[in-house]
Amino acid sequence: MTVSRLTFLFSICAFACQLLAQDKTEPPLTTAAQIRALTPAQAAEQFPIRLRGCFMARESHSFSMQDHTDGIFIFTSSEDVNVDFKRGDLIEVIGYTNPGDYAPCATATSVTLIGKTEVPAPLPSTIAQLYSGQMDAKWVEIEGIVHRAEILPNLLIKPPEALTPEGENLYTKLKLVSGNHELVVEMQDVVDPNTLLDAKISLVGHCFYLHNGNRQFVRPILHTPIGIKPNILQPPVYSGFAPPPRPVSSLFTFDTSEGNHGHRVHVRGVVTHHRPGRALWIRDDTQSLQIQSSQEELLAPGDLVSVLGFPTPGTYSPVLQDAEFKKLGKEDWPSPIDIEQLNMITRHDSDLIRLKATLLEVQRYPESIELTLDGLGTTVRASLITNAELGSLPDWRPGSLVSVSGIATVGEGETIPLNGLWWSESLHVLLRSPNDLAIITAAPWWTPKRVSYALAAFLLIAVVTIAFVVFLSRQRLGEQKQQRALAESEFSAILSERNRVAREIHDTLAQNLGAISVQLEIVRTDARNLGQNTQKHIATAHKLARTALADARDSIWNMRSQVLEKYDLGGALERVATQLTDDTDISIDVDIIGKRRRLPPVVENNLLRVGQEAVTNACKHARPNNIKVEVSYQNRRVELSVIDDGIGFDVASVSPETNHSFGLVGIRERIELLGGDVEIRSEKGRGTRIRVSVSD
């Protein structure tokens, strides 16, 4: 195959791939409505667009346009994209879709001027409709009353013809109100605020939304392009303070006349409190009123002022918003109204009042002190706004009986009835200064807080004391353990020596005595022909030898506990008790309770001797049929009991000179040396119980 043929086939394949690629290309979106119908995820796929429509307004490197279907906001892909057009220009936009931060929009890669076209008619709307969140980028016309107007520096770039004669870059910001809804308007033209304030106007512009990071709208904003002027439908009702003021009590009362609803009203009164730049409170001959004003001029209680403001429903009584005031003079210092019953508060909302109450709680925050009081048969809250000028604040103690003065706010946090008369039973008092709270009877020094501190200190001392006692106890136990170890070591040495002596006696003296006894027995057998006296002396010598041998064996037994070398205490007692009752008709029973364990040698030896002594005493003196020995292994303690069913005795009447008494005294002495307890119970005809208990 030649190179020319290969080239020809390659060209055919490339052409086929190009056709396939063209088949997969999406057709461009051609209307604003198609773009706005996309979801954010779809718009993020950057579908191609080709729009034709009317250029409406420019904002830096972005602009808005309107076609026959809807309005849309367009970003530019770079600074090289020309957006220098005028409203009414017919343009063609090529680019791709953009999800935007709130509603789908587009990004332009090129914008071309085609010609001129008519500016679309605005969509008649209300401020309430803008709050639906569905009017983004729409060209609308709205109506409202201007509550506030101000001229501010404009951070956006304007064309030279839009600047003021002085070359300033400014814009007009309005607060437009209709019913219960308000709208921020940003006019790119500069308009005298005095001609708009309190006027009812209509205005055309683009609706945009302030939104959060979750694509949720917060409030609408109306942008009016350069050249758009407001249309004044009704001029301001008040152009100054000339008209006579109306009583505060006449606000929001039943009125069948048309009136000037929504416009400013003129009131006059004496200042009771003022927070510059925020609010002031006045009182006329009929009622008190809260006024919200941004004026910074400082007013003092007793100043007489005229106020122009927009009435609006407050928490319980009307409030004047976006107000301006003028100082007229000075009158008497206002006195607080004494409130003695709860039902009086509804007549004195926003008024300067005074009441007696018990201070329950004081909470301090960086910007305020919040007080909780018990007064008028309910819980009253009070606040003091703090600042550097107040200096050090008094130490108000809960439990004090106080007199509280301040501005009353009625109905805050109260459940409002659906209709009819609302008698509020909730009261909040705004203190003007720390002097508004006067102590009538101070709280006792022992406040709950101080009591808790004292208890905490006592508890800490108790814990430290207990810890110190535990430390001393452990130290003492350590010393006792060490002493016990030394005693056991000494006892082991003594016991070892006694065992050695016992072995020596057994291997020498006992063996010799045994041999003598055997020899005397032989002599006595062979000495039948001797005289009677001689035989008597030989018999006596034999008897003495046997007695000496028995005593030697008893001494060996007392000195050496060979049985403990092979068995524990329980096993040793079993064998000793069995040996002591072997040649008798007495039955012996040994019970072991608990988990068997080896005990310290001194404990085991003494308990073995106690058991041996108790069983021996029973066998010799009690004439029992049965003897029961119990060894109970407990937690760090051992208990030994010897119980017989013998004749018993009177414990109190036992003579110290009797052998029985000697055995009991020996038992007590052994157990006392171990720091244990001894209990001896016996009655005549009811047997005897000896119980000893020691720690191991």
517 shares a domain with 472 = yes
Q: Specify which residues 143 forms β-bridges with.
A: 202
Q: Of the candidates 116, 132, 152, which is a domain's last residue? A: 116
- Residue 578's alpha-carbon distances to 552, 573, 614, 666, in angstroms, are 21, 8, 13, 22
At 662-672, the pLDDT tens digits run: 578 878 888 88
For residues 622 and 583, is the Cβ–Cβ distance under 8 A? no
Range of 179's domain?
Answer: 123-234
> Could you tell me the CATH number of the domain that includes residue 587?
3.30.565.10
Distance from C-alpha of 651 to C-alpha of 638, rounded to nearest angstrom = 24
210 shares a domain with 162 = yes
392 shares a domain with 353 = yes
CA atoms within 13 A on the CB side of 263: 17
Instruction: Using the CB atoms, write b or e for 59-82: b if 16+ within 10 Å.
Output: beebbbbbbebbbbbbbbeeeebe
431 shares a domain with 453 = no
- Mean pLDDT value of segment 434-438: 93
Q: Which residue has better confidence, 554 or 526?
A: 526
What does the pLDDT read at residue 18?
45
Q: Dump the DSSP string for 285-298.
A: SS-EEEEE------
Q: Where are the beta strands (DSSP E) in 212-294?
A: 217-224, 231-234, 265-275, 279-283, 288-292
Is 578 contained in some domain? yes
Distance from C-alpha of 654 to C-alpha of 177, rounded to nearest angstrom = 114
- Mean pLDDT value of segment 11-37: 66
Mean pLDDT taken over the chain: 84
At 296-343, the pLDDT tens digits run: 999 999 999 999 999 999 989 999 999 999 999 999 999 999 999 998
588 shares a domain with 678 = yes
Q: Where are the beta strands (DSSP E) in 154-180?
A: 170-178
- Residue 216's alpha-carbon distances to 206, 209, 437, in angstroms, are 19, 9, 45
Distance from C-alpha of 109 to C-alpha of 221, rounded to nearest angstrom = 28
Q: Specify which residues 279 forms β-bridges with.
A: 275, 292
Is 18 contained in some domain? no
The answer on pLDDT for 67 being more than 70 is yes
Is 241 contained in some domain? no
Distance from C-alpha of 211 to C-alpha of 133, rounded to nearest angstrom = 10
Helix (H, G, I), strand (E, B) or coil at 613: helix
Q: What is the dihedral of CA 282, 288, 289, 294, to 10 degrees?
A: 20
- Residue 532's alpha-carbon distances to 46, 449, 516, 544, in angstroms, are 147, 108, 21, 18
606 shares a domain with 678 = yes
678 shares a domain with 570 = yes
Is 221 contained in some domain? yes
Is 244 contained in some domain? no
- The pLDDT confidence band at residue 520, using thresholds 50, 70 and 90, is low
**Count of helix runs (H) and strand runs (E) in the chain:** 12, 29
Q: What is the dihedral of CA 339, 340, 342, 343, to 10 degrees?
A: -80
Distance from C-alpha of 511 to C-alpha of 521, rounded to nearest angstrom = 15
Distance from C-alpha of 375 to C-alpha of 383, rounded to nearest angstrom = 15
Going by C-alpha positions, the residue among 379, 360, 336, 359 that lies closest to residue 440 is: 359
**Residue 475: exposed, middle, or buried by beta-carbon count in 10 A (0-12, 13-18, 19+)?**
exposed
Tokens 């210092």 map to which residue?
333
CA atoms within 13 A on the CB side of 355: 31
For residues 403 and 354, is the Cβ–Cβ distance under 8 A? yes
580 shares a domain with 552 = no
At 185-200, the pLDDT tens digits run: 999 888 988 889 999 9
Q: Of the candidates 307, 330, 353, which is a domain's last residue? A: 330
Distance from C-alpha of 592 to C-alpha of 595, rounded to nearest angstrom = 8
Query: Where does residue 237 fall: left (phi above 0), alpha (psi -120 to 50 degrees), or beta otherwise?
Result: alpha
What does the pLDDT read at residue 163?
54
Q: What are phi and psi of 127, to 5 degrees?
A: -60, -35
- The pLDDT confidence band at residue 15, using thresholds 50, 70 and 90, is very low
Strand 217-224 relative to strand 265-275, pairing: unpaired
Distance from C-alpha of 429 to C-alpha of 380, rounded to nearest angstrom = 8
> Could you tell me the CATH number of the domain that includes residue 365?
2.40.50.140
N-terminal to C-terminal alpha carbon distance within the chain? 110
Distance from C-alpha of 378 to C-alpha of 410, rounded to nearest angstrom = 13
Q: Specify which residues 200 forms β-bridges with.
A: 145, 234
Instruction: Count the Cβ atoms, other than its own, within 10 Å of residue 546.
Output: 16
Distance from C-alpha of 585 to C-alpha of 562, rounded to nearest angstrom = 26
Q: What is the DSSP letter of 686?
A: S
Alpha helices in 131-229 (DSSP H): 193-196
For residues 287 and 315, is the Cβ–Cβ distance under 8 A? no
At 343-389, the pLDDT tens digits run: 899 999 999 999 999 999 999 888 899 999 999 999 999 999 987 66
At 223-263, the pLDDT tens digits run: 998 888 999 999 988 777 878 899 999 999 988 776 678 88
Is 524 contained in some domain? yes
Distance from C-alpha of 205 to C-alpha of 187, rounded to nearest angstrom = 9
What does the pLDDT read at residue 20?
41
Q: What are phi and psi of 239, to 5 degrees?
A: -100, 0
Structure tokens given for 329: 């003079």
Q: What are phi and psi of 605, to 5 degrees?
A: -65, -45
Q: Which residue has better confidence, 474 or 15?
A: 474
- Residue 123's alpha-carbon distances to 185, 502, 609, in angstroms, are 17, 127, 116
Q: What is the dihedral of CA 208, 213, 216, 221, to 10 degrees?
A: -20
Q: Specify which residues 306 forms β-bridges with.
A: 268, 326
CA atoms within 13 A on the CB side of 620: 11
Q: Which residue has better confidence, 491 or 113?
A: 113
What does the pLDDT read at residue 341?
92
323 shares a domain with 369 = no
Orientation of helix 659-673 relative to helix 601-617, angle to 10°: 160
Distance from C-alpha of 17 to C-alpha of 6, rounded to nearest angstrom = 17
pTM of the model: 0.61
Is 170 contained in some domain? yes
Distance from C-alpha of 24 to C-alpha of 462, rounded to nearest angstrom = 85
662 shares a domain with 589 = yes
Structure tokens given for 269: 């009164």
Is 27 contained in some domain? no
307 shares a domain with 187 = no
Domain count within the chain: 6
- The pLDDT confidence band at residue 55, using thresholds 50, 70 and 90, is very high
At 622-673, the pLDDT tens digits run: 889 999 999 999 888 999 999 999 888 887 776 544 445 557 887 888 888 8
What does the pLDDT read at residue 17?
44
The answer on pLDDT for 391 being more than 60 is yes
Helix H or strand E encompassing 98? strand 89-98
Q: Of the candidates 66, 81, 116, which is a domain's last residue? A: 116
At 570-615, the pLDDT tens digits run: 888 888 888 777 777 888 888 999 888 888 877 888 888 888 888 8
431 shares a domain with 395 = yes
